[in-house]
């Protein structure tokens, strides 16, 4: 795993693209600046995930100043700076508008462990940020989102999308991918009349350890990076 924050931001973008979590030029992943100044490395605005290389990654300060890199910053940078201000355990955060999680976010129903993916977001139940469905364009809204996220892996944002977090890009990106899959699976079950069977808490806990241990997350991450690696050969 890379320790270079620019390279990690590039890889996070490439992996999200490979997983199909694109939304034209919107959505972004951010990597904590390791020097402790509170800034984040994230892709420049105006580019899709699949278009990101080292020249399209910016260092953005907690106040929104571009400290390094060329291009405009995303207006929603406070999502990342405020989450990382509140969560010292988080080194990567992902914001996506993927369609299944966006659709599921607006339903008044819990995300159930009806798939392997769903066991990550059921205990405790994934929170929903309902203060606004508009852009998180201020530090105040970013702090409110961080408060709603709390210690969870992810937070649904009705009428908007979702955010996922982790100690590294591998974890945060995989959580975004798995959240989209879990939401899609439950939407399919709801369309077929609603789920009737799902894992109980003990089985869900077992599956989190069996399947989504660091090795499992790393295997999924490497799979997502292989298309970009092949393109460079």
The arithmetic mean of pLDDT across residues 153-174, rounded, is: 98
Beta bridge partners of 26: 23
pLDDT 10s digits, 12-32 = 999 999 999 999 999 999 999
How confident is the prediction for the chain on average, in pLDDT?
Answer: 95
43 neighbors 56 (Cβ within 8 angstroms): yes
Residue 37 confidence (pLDDT): 77
pTM of the predicted structure, to 2 decimals: 0.96
The arithmetic mean of pLDDT across residues 186-214, rounded, is: 97
Hey, is 65 helix, strand or coil? coil
The arithmetic mean of pLDDT across residues 173-182, rounded, is: 98
Residue 103 confidence (pLDDT): 98
Residue 228 confidence (pLDDT): 77
pLDDT 10s digits, 89-107 = 999 999 999 999 999 999 9
The arithmetic mean of pLDDT across residues 152-170, rounded, is: 98
- Which residue from 149, 166, 152, 176 is spatially nearest to 23, judged by alpha carbons? 176
Residue 35 confidence (pLDDT): 83
175 neighbors 154 (Cβ within 8 angstroms): yes
> Which domains are seen in the chain, by residue range?
5-109+125-169 (3.40.225.10)
154 neighbors 162 (Cβ within 8 angstroms): yes
Residue 1 DSSP class: -
Q: Confidence class of residue 1 from pLDDT cuts 50, 70 and 90?
A: very low
Place of tokens 């390094």: 68
Place of tokens 């940020």: 129
Give the chain's count of helices (H) and strands (E): 7, 7
Residue 57 confidence (pLDDT): 98
Residue 232 confidence (pLDDT): 58
CA 120 to chain centre: 13
What is d(CA 190, CA 194) in angstroms, rounded to the nearest whole number?
A: 4
Q: Confidence class of residue 230 from pLDDT cuts 50, 70 and 90?
A: confident
160 neighbors 2 (Cβ within 8 angstroms): no
Asked if residue 144 has pLDDT above 70, the reply is: yes
């Amino acid at each position: 795993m890379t320790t270079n924050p620019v390279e990690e931001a590039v890889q996070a973008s490439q992996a999200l693209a490979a997983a199909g979590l694109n939304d034209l030029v919107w959505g972004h992943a951010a990597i904590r600046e390791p020097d402790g100044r509170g800034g984040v490395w994230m892709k420049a605005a105006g580019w899709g995930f699949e278009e990101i290389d080292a020249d399209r990654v910016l260092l953005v300060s907690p106040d929104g100043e571009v400290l390094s890199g060329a291009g405009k910053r995303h207006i929603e940078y406070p999502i990342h700076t405020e989450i990382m201000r509140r969560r010292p355990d988080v080194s990567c955060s992902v914001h996506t508008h993927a369609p299944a999680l966006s659709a599921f976010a607006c339903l008044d129903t819990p995300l159930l462990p009806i798939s392997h993916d769903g066991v990550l977001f059921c205990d405790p139940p994934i929170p929903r940020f309902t203060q606004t469905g508009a852009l998180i364009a201020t530090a105040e809204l970013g702090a409110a989102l961080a408060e709603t996220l709390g210690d969870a892996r992810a937070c649904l944002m009705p009428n908007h999308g979702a955010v996922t977090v982790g100690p590294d890009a591998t974890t945060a990106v995989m959580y975004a991918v798995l959240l989209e899959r879990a939401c899609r699976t439950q939407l399919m079950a709801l369309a077929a009349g609603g789920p009737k069977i799902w894992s109980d808490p003990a089985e869900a806990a077992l599956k989190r350890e069996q399947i989504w241990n660091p090795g499992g997350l790393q295997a999924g991450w490497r799979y997502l990076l292989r298309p970009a690696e092949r393109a460079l050969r």
